Every structure is written in C-alpha cells, then in structure tokens.
Amino acid sequence: MYSHGMSTSERLIESTRELLWERGYVGTSPKAILERAGAGQGSMYHHFKGKPDLALAAIRRTAEELRATAERVLDGPGTPYQRIEAYLLRERDVLRGCPVGRLTMDPDVIASDELRAPVEETLGRIRERIAGIVEEGKRQGQFASSLDGAEIAAAVIATVQGGYVLARASGSPAAFDTAVRGLLTLLAPQHVGPDDHPA
C-alpha cells in the first residue's frame, strides 16, 4: 500500500490521515493505525507521544495539503471570477467529503483546541484569500462595489462544505454541482446592455 522507501513515522501519519477521513477520531484506534501502516506494536509510541500527538501531525498534514491545493488554484491565471470559478469547479472526491471540513463534525477534534487549530487556520486562510480576490474584482469593476469580500468568501466556503453534505446525503455528486452552479450564477459579472434597462 505504501512505498518501501516511506519511513515508519510517515506510514503512521498517512494511515492516520486516511482513517480520520473515513472513521473520525474516535473510530481511529491505535490498532487500526498500526494495521494499515504495516507497523509493529509499540512503533507509534516510539515516534509519537500517543494517538493525540499522531492525530495532530496527520491533521496538520491534511490541512497544509488542502490549503496548498486551494492557493494553487486561487493564485492561478484568469480574472478574479475565473479563479473563484476554478476553485469551486476543481476536481474533488465529493462523496468522501472534505478531509478538513469533516473534522469539524468530530466532537473530539472540536473539543481540543490543539486539534481544532489547524482546521480553523486552514479554512480561515482560504477564506482570506478568496476575500482578497473579490476585492480585487471589485477594483477591476468585475464585481459590484456593494459586495463584501469577507461575506462572499464565507459564502464560497459554506457552499463547498454544504455541497459535500448535500452530496453525501443524496449519494450523488450532482447536489454538490448544483450548489456550485447556483453560487457561480449569482457571482457572474453582470453585463447590462442598453436594451436591458427597465423602461
């Protein structure tokens, strides 16, 4: 499953990341982590203080990857609208849900300031980046001056996370796609021609 060149600590982190996504914190037992990592008994405690320490390393890794992926798209080519569109339309494993967003539904993660911090920081950073892009679009006249960058950014994140929930509830990615298309329609730059004005 993992490459032979991967160290035991790396295999433990990767196994924990996958299990947290699939089962949540409570469902991720040390035994399951060791089995998936192909690691011997006690190796977890050789590399980490225990399950919370390993889970923190795994959550940080997942959060960093999600943030890097989002920023790569948001900092890509195109107009502000096109970059937000690219972020909303980027390829996702919709029915598995968001590996970071799902952690917010885990009571053990939310109850721990330390485990919650990478989740909060990542979603906050992505939100800030989107808000900046909206403000850039307003300066270029692409978005209405009445739009609030922070509010639109929160709506974008809420659409993505809510889209995951709708898709998982219906068992179809179509619900996610519908939510995204709806938001993009609302955000689309309006080109009002002379014949479009009300009489």
Tens of pLDDT, residue by residue over 143-171, are: 999 999 999 999 999 999 999 999 999 99
Task: Examine the pLDDT at 198 and tell me if it is beyond 50.
Answer: no
CB 100 within 8 A of CB 123: yes
- Distance, CA of 6 to CA of 172 (rounded, Å): 35
Q: How much is the average pLDDT of 19-29?
A: 91
> Which one-letter amino acid corresponds to residue 87?
Y
DSSP E strands, the chain: none
Task: Examine the pLDDT at 195 and tell me if it is beyond 60.
Answer: no
DSSP state of 117: H
Instruction: Look at 28-37, 44-53, 64-73, 159-168 and tell me which has the smallest mean pLDDT.
Output: 44-53
Q: Note the pTM of the prediction, 2 decimals.
A: 0.87
pLDDT of residue 4: 58
- Distance, CA of 41 to CA of 110 (rounded, Å): 29
pLDDT of residue 132: 98
Q: Which residues contact 139 (CB under 8 A, 6 or more apart)?
A: none
Q: Could you tell me the two tokens for 27?
A: 């469902």
Instruction: Look at 32-46, 82-96, 114-128 and tell me which has the smallest mean pLDDT.
Output: 32-46
Tell me what percent of the residues of the chain surpass a pLDDT of 90.
78
Ordered structural domains, the chain, with CATH: 60-188 (1.10.357.10)
CA angle 10, 14, 91 (to 5 degrees): 130
